[in-house]
Amino acid sequence: MKPLKEASKYAKTFISMVGMDDMPQALAELTRVEQLMAGSGEFRSLLLSPVFPDADREKAVKSVAGVLKLSDKVLSFLLHITRIRVVGALSEIIKTATGIYLEKKKRAKATVLTPVELTAPQTERLRASLKKMIEKDVDIEMVIDPSLLGGVLVKVGSTMYDSSIKGQLRLLKEDLIKG
């Protein structure tokens, strides 16, 4: 089975196990597990390697669940994907589940890169403009990128909106090269 197809299948399973109302908290919990897997090679190896017995894997997952204070539903899902050996696709499952959740809630997530932190009124104007453009409520994640000279770079789903000076200079350079 293709990884993307698996991720979609298990993301839908996760949503049905958790329920739409508990999704924000459940996604945050799964993200903490994903971060632990990324930060600890030993934990990742334990979950992914066929060398370790299932009982050891289950014990480790339950132990981590206690430390990270995972809900019973998230623990159950994590044990399930660990048993069937698709826990390696956890980041894709989280990404897909987040996309499905936001789509069902008629929301979108925008990642905004700016050279400096935006004020609250600037953020609200940006949110209103994005809502008007994509016709959905928008959750904004701010990322400070000092390499931008000015302006903003916005990513909503797979669409990029580049109003940065760096982006405008790149376009100008391309136009000059074309002649």
pTM of the model: 0.64
Are 153 and 167 a contacting pair, CB within 8 Å?
Answer: yes
3-state SS track over 68-104: HCCCHHHHHHHHHHHHCCCHHHHHHHHHHHHHHHHHH
Residues 6+ apart with CB under 8 A from 15: 23, 97, 100, 101
> How far apart (Å, rounded) are the C-alpha atoms in residues 46 and 53?
9
**Are 129 and 94 within 8 A, CB to CB?**
no
Q: What is the pLDDT of residue 1?
A: 42
User: For residue 49, which phi and psi values (nearest 5 degrees)?
Assistant: -75, 135
Across the beta sheet with 107-114, what order do the strands follow? 137-144, 107-114, 153-156, 159-162
Q: Would you state the pLDDT for residue 4? A: 58
**pLDDT value of residue 160:** 86
What the block records as the tokens of 32 is: 């903490």
pLDDT in tens, the chain (179 residues): 445 567 888 888 898 888 888 888 999 999 999 998 899 888 888 888 888 888 888 898 898 888 889 899 999 999 989 888 888 888 899 988 988 888 887 778 888 999 888 899 999 998 898 888 888 888 888 999 888 878 888 888 778 888 888 888 888 899 899 87
Q: Which helix (H) or strand (E) holds 134?
A: helix 120-134
Q: How far apart are CA 20 and CA 49, in angstroms?
A: 32
Determine which helix (DSSP H) or strand (DSSP E) holds 53, and give its type and residue range. none
Q: Domains of the chain, with CATH numbers?
A: 3-102 (1.10.520), 107-178 (3.40.30)
